[in-house]
Chains A and B, each alone.
Chain A
């Protein structure tokens, strides 16, 4: 069964090819069948592989498909690899991916046939790229998947490309990612120079054999890899593309921009853990970037009114937590959070999609409220996932987040790499982030599902049961541009309805997942030092944690857990006080009025986009303008100058040709003509004249032979 590994990425690729080829002709039903079947088959194959992998304790299984390139010393095979790390990723990528495909059938049903097929083709292509990324046995194959998911992300963010802001959001994502990818490429080159190979197993073996030899190279390679991770996983300072990426359809946000693609950076860091473990500096950088991003993004999330933007900043923040864990050397904890986050964040995004679907495309939470009654399934699943994200005990997020905070504290206490105080500070940031997370998530819950409905009521032109007007014009989307008017002039209050089964069932499954998946990695402290952390042991062979000098006592760990739970509860209570009940919204409004500077700073996302516009974007534009002027003046001038010179010399050369060369040819012809005119008279036509000449000539020759021959 393991030998069928290649089918896992190839099946979605085949699906994408079929859908792209037949986009014009496929009905909705045919498109859904192809899209779901290819990913479903991929899911089944990977489950079978995982079952065999788990029972056989295979360790590492590598499948070389073909020799990709061989040029001198550079030999790279296109090889896939399953080990504990990629097995975890493989499971949740195919599982969550399949659920989101199912959900998309309901969510995208209003699209035209062609764009419906295009949507599923891109989604299948994404699955192929993501699975290639996860299964790649060397940096280059991983990079192929890495670029592939970037491409699909771009295509799907700009899915409604006829809207200018959607198209530019896609471009923004692509360009910002490019910066990170540049670092990643440099890391690959450097790794090749240092190790002579980019194969993970070979590099790891080289490092294990002689750690001292590679210690000095580990820092630059690890940092360059991390630059790639910063771009893909939306960390400071390259996080700006992810909130804008919400322009894509909501299932895309759930799959690509929450559950799978953005965690690729964490996965890559965990994959290269043997390099990071060698370099305390690199670990510190990862931890600091992660910890600061976690809090920074969470504060922006506090003041967002677009439901998807809240979730987007939450994703950036949670990715920060994952890097914080990786930076503390706890790679298993980072991957554990990737794993649980995939479930509850996908659930949250799909829940928000269900809300947007019911609201006819509305995304502004200020126009929602009281949706609990009309959308009971969406509400309960959303609340479960929110509790998981907030880190309330027994929900999945509690186990993974506490694992992270515990590990970071332990790294601080054990003075990891001599940066103990920094780690303790990051731990404090992490706890603060937990408070902010609980607050902004419950703010979203209260604003969306509780209180009274604040959307459009009784507007004209409403037809019952219509999804936003004739011709399936229902278009989910978002952005500040539309806050003034509801997208479609319909009576939102009467339009509200629970989503169809294809959307609610994935929500239910993911909500159950948000509760249960945490139990695979229950921390040691929670169970009073009884070792039940199956997840960590599973990952131990491929992603071992960095050794710490000493471990925190049970008492301290319990204090930490109690503290983070208390902080989360405090966040929830504050949100309830601010956004629930009779006095909802008055307190936050008063707070904003009292601190206008602070509020504006946060509500405008710290003006980071404006800063980038003023520096990087404006600088690039200026450079482009200058280049254009250089092009117009110097390059075009040189080209035009060349043209003038060419015309001049051609004229001269033409004169020479006409007079000298043609003259010589004509002269020759004239000489021949003159000679011919003279000689042709010999042929005067009298036959006997010819005979006479012949006879005379003969006589003369005989005479010459007789007389001259004798004389000689």
Chain B
């Protein structure tokens, strides 16, 4: 059986990749994709612990996370469409109007 540590390592790597995407990509859609990757990294960790303990709680939470992620993406994309309509761009670097 594959040890839980492996799963956690995979999860950590995926989380780091997602976080890097969120922090570094200029494209708004890519930032949303990065968030999805981070969520799924967490999902892998949850499923891994669920398997280790032989309990289904973690897997149930994963389903909730997936549902919430779908909703979150819908809202995020709607925001991006609105931003695009306003400034003809989805470059997050240009979203710097809200400041002092």
Which of B23, B95, B96, B100 interacts with A681 by CB under 8 Å?
A: B100
> Of the 9-residue stretches A78-86, A232-240, A619-627, A687-695, which lies at the interface with chain B?
A687-695
Check A683–B100 contact: CB distance below 8 A.
Answer: yes
Q: Does A684 lie at the interface of the complex (its beta carbon under 8 Å from any beta carbon of B)?
A: yes
Smallest beta-carbon distance B93→chain A, Å: 7
Residues of A within 8 A of B82 (CB): none
Residues of B within 8 A of A680 (CB): 100
Cα distance A680–B93 in the bound complex, in angstroms? 20
Cα distance A686–B24 in the bound complex, in angstroms? 12
Smallest beta-carbon distance A561→chain B, Å: 124
Q: Does B98 lie at the interface of the complex (its beta carbon under 8 Å from any beta carbon of A)?
A: yes
Check B100–A687 contact: CB distance below 8 A.
Answer: no
Cα distance A695–B96 in the bound complex, in angstroms? 19
Check A686–B22 contact: CB distance below 8 A.
Answer: no
Check A691–B23 contact: CB distance below 8 A.
Answer: yes
Per-residue CB contact flags for chain B residues 81-100 toward chain A (1 = under 8 Å, else 0) read 00000000000110111111
Tell me the B2-22 residues at the A interface (CB within 8 Å): 19, 22
Smallest beta-carbon distance B41→chain A, Å: 14
Which of A684, A691, A695 interacts with B99 by CB under 8 Å?
A: A684
Interface size on A, residues (CB 8 A): 11
Which of A681, A683, A684, A688 interacts with B92 by CB under 8 Å?
A: A688
Check A685–B23 contact: CB distance below 8 A.
Answer: no
Check A695–B100 contact: CB distance below 8 A.
Answer: no
Smallest beta-carbon distance B95→chain A, Å: 5
Cα distance A686–B31 in the bound complex, in angstroms? 14
Residues of B within 8 A of A691 (CB): 22-23
Residues of B within 8 A of A692 (CB): 23
Residues of A within 8 A of B22 (CB): 688, 691
With most chain B CB atoms within 10 A of its CB, the pick from A686, A687, A692 is A687
Tell me the A654-712 residues at the B interface (CB within 8 Å): 680-681, 683-688, 691-692, 695
Smallest beta-carbon distance A624→chain B, Å: 78
Which of A681, A683, A684, A695 interacts with B19 by CB under 8 Å?
A: A695
Known contacts A680-B100, A681-B100: does B19 contact A687 (CB below 8 Å)? no
Cα distance A681–B97 in the bound complex, in angstroms? 14
Smallest beta-carbon distance A495→chain B, Å: 107
Check A686–B93 contact: CB distance below 8 A.
Answer: yes
Size class of the B contact interface (CB-based, 8 Å) = 10 to 19
Cα distance A686–B98 in the bound complex, in angstroms? 9
Residues of A within 8 A of B100 (CB): 680-681, 683-685
Residues of A within 8 A of B24 (CB): 688
Cα distance A688–B92 in the bound complex, in angstroms? 8
Residues of B within 8 A of A686 (CB): 93, 96
Residues of A within 8 A of B99 (CB): 683-685
Check A695–B23 contact: CB distance below 8 A.
Answer: yes
Cα distance A688–B22 in the bound complex, in angstroms? 8
Cα distance A684–B95 in the bound complex, in angstroms? 11
Q: Which residue of B lies closest to A686 (CB)?
A: B96
Smallest beta-carbon distance B26→chain A, Å: 9
Cα distance A692–B96 in the bound complex, in angstroms? 15
Smallest beta-carbon distance B32→chain A, Å: 13
Residues of B within 8 A of A685 (CB): 95-100
Smallest beta-carbon distance A67→chain B, Å: 79
Check A688–B96 contact: CB distance below 8 A.
Answer: no
With most chain B CB atoms within 10 A of its CB, the pick from A680, A686, A688, A695 is A688
Known contacts A680-B100, A681-B100: does B23 contact A687 (CB below 8 Å)? no
Cα distance A683–B22 in the bound complex, in angstroms? 19
Per-residue CB contact flags for chain A residues 316-329 toward chain B (1 = under 8 Å, else 0) read 00000000000000
Cα distance A686–B19 in the bound complex, in angstroms? 16
Cα distance A327–B34 in the bound complex, in angstroms? 126
Check B97–A687 contact: CB distance below 8 A.
Answer: no
Smallest beta-carbon distance B75→chain A, Å: 16
Which of A683, A687, A695 interacts with B95 by CB under 8 Å?
A: A687
Residues of B within 8 A of A684 (CB): 96, 99-100
Cα distance A683–B96 in the bound complex, in angstroms? 10
Smallest beta-carbon distance B19→chain A, Å: 6
Tell me the A117-153 residues at the B interface (CB within 8 Å): none
Smallest beta-carbon distance A683→chain B, Å: 5
Cα distance A680–B31 in the bound complex, in angstroms? 27
Smallest beta-carbon distance A692→chain B, Å: 5
Residues of A within 8 A of B19 (CB): 695
Residues of B within 8 A of A688 (CB): 22-24, 31, 92-93
Cα distance A681–B99 in the bound complex, in angstroms? 8
Cα distance A688–B91 in the bound complex, in angstroms? 11
Cα distance A686–B97 in the bound complex, in angstroms? 9
Q: Which residue of B lies closest to A698 (CB)?
A: B19
With most chain A CB atoms within 10 A of its CB, the pick from B24, B93, B99 is B99
Q: Which residue of A lies closest to B20 (CB)?
A: A695
Residues of A within 8 A of B23 (CB): 688, 691-692, 695
Smallest beta-carbon distance B18→chain A, Å: 11
Smallest beta-carbon distance A211→chain B, Å: 104
Cα distance A111–B54 in the bound complex, in angstroms? 122
Q: Which residue of A lies closest to B96 (CB)?
A: A685
Residues of B within 8 A of A683 (CB): 98-100
Cα distance A688–B21 in the bound complex, in angstroms? 11
Cα distance A685–B92 in the bound complex, in angstroms? 11
Cα distance A687–B31 in the bound complex, in angstroms? 11
Cα distance A685–B96 in the bound complex, in angstroms? 4
Cα distance A695–B16 in the bound complex, in angstroms? 11
Tell me the A180-212 residues at the B interface (CB within 8 Å): none
Cα distance A332–B71 in the bound complex, in angstroms? 116
With most chain A CB atoms within 10 A of its CB, the pick from B19, B24, B97 is B19
Cα distance A695–B31 in the bound complex, in angstroms? 14
Smallest beta-carbon distance A361→chain B, Å: 99
Per-residue CB contact flags for chain B residues 16-46 toward chain A (1 = under 8 Å, else 0) read 0001001110000001000000000000000
Residues of A within 8 A of B97 (CB): 685
Per-residue CB contact flags for chain B residues 59-97 toward chain A (1 = under 8 Å, else 0) read 000000000000000000000000000000000110111
Smallest beta-carbon distance B91→chain A, Å: 11
The 3 closest A-B pairs by CB, nearest first: A685-B99, A685-B96, A680-B100
Return 14 A-B CB contacts under 8 Å, by A number: A683-B98, A684-B99, A684-B100, A685-B95, A685-B96, A685-B99, A686-B93, A686-B96, A687-B92, A688-B24, A688-B31, A688-B93, A691-B22, A695-B19
Taking A684-B96, A688-B23 as given, write out 14 further A-B residue pairs in contact, using a Cβ cutoff of 8 Å, ordered by the A residue number: A683-B99, A683-B100, A685-B95, A685-B96, A685-B98, A685-B99, A686-B96, A687-B92, A687-B95, A688-B22, A688-B24, A688-B92, A692-B23, A695-B23
Q: Interface residues, chain A, CB within 8 Å of chain B? A: 680-681, 683-688, 691-692, 695
